[in-house]
Structure 1
């Protein structure tokens, strides 16, 4: 087939991109010329950064950076293979032990990305005899993981316990052998924290397992930052998480569970079996981030993080912005219109504040927003400067 015979395909792709742009849904990629941190270099100038998942401020931390460098110097760039062939290094086992101990589980398994962890957890453990009951606002990676599994699928309205119970009843009535409730611990687009105490009670009542994606909770929610389940004071069966946010900011994911579950996942989870082992530099950086997060310094960083969130939330509310309610360091500024969100983000960058507009399909239509994210590395002065920029841009664009 020649290039000319494919013209219709390429024309269709161009037309779709044009339509995305016309709707204000284009997601620009801005090039950063510095380490991640509260201040970053964009387009040749320093700007305040309020959109990174750098909750504890460790992504650019020199100790975390040097730990990654030392690991690379010892172990090289990588294993050049998957782990079961020739890819398990001592540092992989060390990181699995460290994250399992930190989060209070028997064992852990590493993945190249948290997306892979959620993509790989369901299919090896559950069959067509089982049922998965999933929160309607779960992350795309959970949705894709559920799709790869043959278990019966049920969905409940986000954080709606009456609907969850109805779905559990239906799954039992349909003869499910095992039922697993799957939920984000903290929902990334809204900052809502799952009602895990209520979910735990219903799981006990209906004999269900609980899986929590804690990518936006590990390291800073709950006692010692162990996550949303620690914050809510409950136990769960499986936790998936990432080293790409609070725990160093690089990449890589994990599943924590009982030892026999991890053993089976290492035999059957396709993203684990068919993806290269996690790079040694990522392992080294993540180990250092866990060390910091688990100690007294982690306590101080978490205290600062939530103080920053409270200051920003209070000032923005007083200024007249509509925010999603909550206590999480994710604080969405609701704008509704996709183009307005993009225009607002562009104006904020001109004013020296880096934020991103979120619109469909990342969030539902009509719920476009700027999702701000606080970091322990922010100062009160930086937060106040960001609020001032929001107020100026909001008045110029008719938001407030």
Structure 2
């Protein structure tokens, strides 16, 4: 290895460890369900995005196996050559039905969606109004587009309106987009989409909602745009298929001409092999299950409300979450890391989230209850939170 590279890596890795910012990666031994095994120890799992428990659903596992037997383990090509199977077409039809749009396009990940869609439409002659707490994939997608990025204060509609007005009246930009998460993953709050749409209409802004943590969770499962009844008002509906849907991948849903454009101009679609057949079949069935019944959705919210009430009663700072995502905000990064380690030692897996994922001084342990947690599991988790919280002086 180059000496200068070796010195750079060693110095900076040690700096991260000293500040409590180095993330240790744990290997899960077996399935990622309500209880997981790490280093031979069973832990109540409060760190999974598997909101509806579908990642381990028996029906979806069988659907994936059947698809593999018929189609193979891989698509074999990019979508624009011969990697588009009839499975992909059916999935995109189901996604459009699920999101209430004319059409949809699927990608290999939710991160890919934001890298693909923003840069396919926006360029150096445009501007993007972006919520300050938007996900890293949105930030990177905006940067890739080379558009002027104008951050507005988190969910501050007065600031958004002022910056939209300034950008529009400047005459400097061909197109202006406003982009926001539907559900903000670190705090669990919901974007003010009705107000955003109102401002967008006033200043002719393109509207873009990344609903990675809303699809399957809000709007009786159909997402945050559906929650507000704004399917006809949002230009881009983005989401992941790896969280509540339980598999892997992402999608963009919108007008047919938008989807047609993304199929010929979005680089991850053009230059990356298609999602595997087994995954596509499982995703399609998962979407149908969510559309057919709200049972899993309702159980998720019941569990989320129960855990949230319990943590709040114990005295933890859970912020202003409006969804099952429930942060316990600790603040200091090293204390946050210690808190998370003690939870694991006592039997709860709840990962520390620190800078750069959240601003410095706002370290937290983020809790993600899922539909397949039992009340007994949540009670046990709350008892452990109380013990560790008192021990470390957090409560």
TM-score, length-scaled by structure 1: 0.96
Indicate yes or no: 2:218 matched with 1:221: yes
1:208 to 205, 225, 237: 205
SS at structure 2 position matched to 1:188: coil
Name the structure 2 match of 1:312.
307
Deviation at 1:59, TM superposition (A): 0.9
Further displaced range: 352-361 or 227-236: 227-236
Deviation at 1:365, TM superposition (A): 0.2
SS at structure 2 position matched to 1:183: strand
Dislocated runs of 4+, deviation >6 Å: none
For 1:61 and 1:344, the matched residues in 2 are separated by 32
The residue correspondences of 1:224-263 to structure 2 (distance < 5 A) are: 225-235=221-231, 236-248=234-246, 250-263=247-260
1:102 to 80, 91, 98: 98
Indicate yes or no: 2:176 matched with 1:183: no
Indicate yes or no: 2:155 matched with 1:155: no
Instruction: Count how many residue pairs are aligned between Structure 1 and Structure 2.
Output: 392
For 2:99 and 2:118, the matched residues in 1 are separated by 21
Name the structure 2 match of 1:90.
86
* 1:124 and 1:265 in contact (8 A); partners too: yes
SS at structure 1 position matched to 2:251: strand
For 1:339 and 1:64, the matched residues in 2 are separated by 40
The residue correspondences of 1:108-127 to structure 2 (distance < 5 A) are: 108-127=104-123
Deviation at 1:354, TM superposition (A): 0.8
Gaps of 5+ in 2: none
String of CA shifts for 1:151-197, please: whole Å, max 9, x gaps. 33221111000000011101111223332110000011111100001
Name the structure 2 match of 1:53.
49
Deviation at 1:313, TM superposition (A): 1.1
* 1:105 and 1:256 in contact (8 A); partners too: yes
2:283 to 281, 286, 289: 286
* 1:197 and 1:233 in contact (8 A); partners too: no
Indicate yes or no: 2:5 matched with 1:9: yes
2:367 to 365, 368, 372: 372
String of CA shifts for 1:14-58, please: whole Å, max 9, x gaps. 111111111111111111112111111111122110110111111
Name the structure 2 match of 1:32.
28
For 1:300 and 1:329, the matched residues in 2 are separated by 15
Name the structure 2 match of 1:62.
58
